[in-house]
Every structure is written in structure tokens, then in C-alpha cells.
Amino acid sequence: MTFSEKLITLRAGRGWSQEQLANKIGVTRQAVGRWEKGAGLPDAVSLTNLSKAFDVTPEWLIDETASGRPEPRRARRVKLAWFDYVMFALTVLSATACLILRELLYGDAFSSFDIWDVYSVLQRIYQAAVLPAMWFSMGWSAAALLSYLGVRSLTLGKFARPAMIVLGAMLPITFAVTVLDVLVLELWYPYHTLWLIGTPSALAPGGLLLGLAVKRKEKTK
């Protein structure tokens, strides 16, 4: 198959118009039209963008001796960003703090009634800050490792990233608002979200979705 035949077949298979494809790869509709008519070939940048859009190798696109069956790109490994390392560190620190606080809270350190106020403060810190931070950062760290290893999330279309961001942010934001009201503001009693305080592990999926949705640079090799 020629390059133009492959391009027409791939675009039709995705149900994209020439203009939609042009917008995805940053060229004009006229450029896509010329390529499909066989009047020219894309430059290196456009070829790379085409291969990413269709998830095939650039070599397969321009090799007219290759089979008509698309050759998928290899799993795309990414470079870990600074925020990934922050989450790794937060996981370790919060997990360590959890172990220390559990020993203090459920051991014999607060057997005296005189230090009950200290116990109450530490209990709040443990339940409303340390545990949630540990579970959220664990979810994010898992997503970072999956991305680093080249494990790709399911393709949900062009709205996948915004949807994952919204869904991932809902639980952490709801948790923060609930804790803020219960422990500080006391403006209303959040009956429907109070369970989150007792189930901080529910923040792990939020961290996982946000960690998968965030953009990272792909490795060139």
C-alpha cells in the first residue's frame, strides 16, 4: 500500500474528516488532502504526529513494501516528572508517619487523661491528613510507575484526559471540603460525604486517575 492509501484507510477507520485529522496533528486540511492524493509526503514532524495519532510506526506509514496491516508503535515509555518524585517521597513519608502515629495513638503513650487534648489533635492529624496523603500519593505513584513501564490506559477518545482529571479530582476535593467543614468551619453537617473521613483509601483511585491523566514527556529511546 502507498502512503496515501494507508492514510485514507486509517483516517476512515477512525471516522475522522480531513479537517479533524489536520487539527490533531497541527497542519492544514489542504496538506492532508495533498497527502491523500499522493501529491506529497509529510515532513518529519508531521509524520511523527501522524504515527502518534494512529498509533502506528512512522516506518510502516512510508514503507510501500510493508503489509497492509498496521504495525503498532511500541509501548511508549515516559520520563518521570518532578511531581512524580514528590509523590514517591510523600508516599514514603506519610507511610512512615502513619506507623509512628498508630503506635502513639493505639499504644500506651496516652493512658493519662491529662494529655487527652494532645491525643485528640494527633488523632485528627492522622485521620484527616496523614492517611489521606498516603492513599492519594500511593495511587499517583502507581500511575507514574505504570506510565514509566509503558502500560497505557484505555483509549476513551479525545475527552479521555479531561474526564479522568474531573473524576480523579472529585474525591480529593470532596474529602478536603468535608474535613474543612467538620473540623474547622462547622457550617453544615455533610451527611452524604462524612464516610470519606473514615475511608481515606477511597482517595487512591483519585490519585491513580490524576496520575494517568497528567502529561509526561515520552522517552525518545
Q: Taking the CB of residue 2, how many other CB atoms lie within 10 A of it?
A: 10
Distance between CA atoms of residues 102 and 119, nearest Å: 11
Question: What is the mean predicted confidence (pLDDT) over 84-113?
Answer: 85
Average pLDDT for the chain = 82
Asked whether residue 220 carries a pLDDT value surpassing 60, the answer given is: no
pLDDT at 153: 47
Q: Write out 10-61 in H/E/C secondary structure.
A: HHHHHCCCHHHHHHHHCCCHHHHHHHHHCCCCCCHHHHHHHHHHHCECHHHH
Least confident among 138-147, 155-164, 178-187: 155-164
Enumerate domains of the chain plus CATH numbers.
3-62 (1.10.260.40), 82-213 (no CATH)
**Across residues 188-200, what is the average pLDDT?**
71
**Which backbone phi and psi does 56 adopt, to 5 degrees?**
-130, 170
CA dihedral 18, 24, 26, 30 (to 10 degrees): 0
pTM over 0.95: no
Coil, strand or helix at 78: strand
pLDDT of res. 155: 46
Q: What is the pLDDT of residues 37-64, one digit of tens each?
A: 988 888 988 988 888 888 788 888 888 8
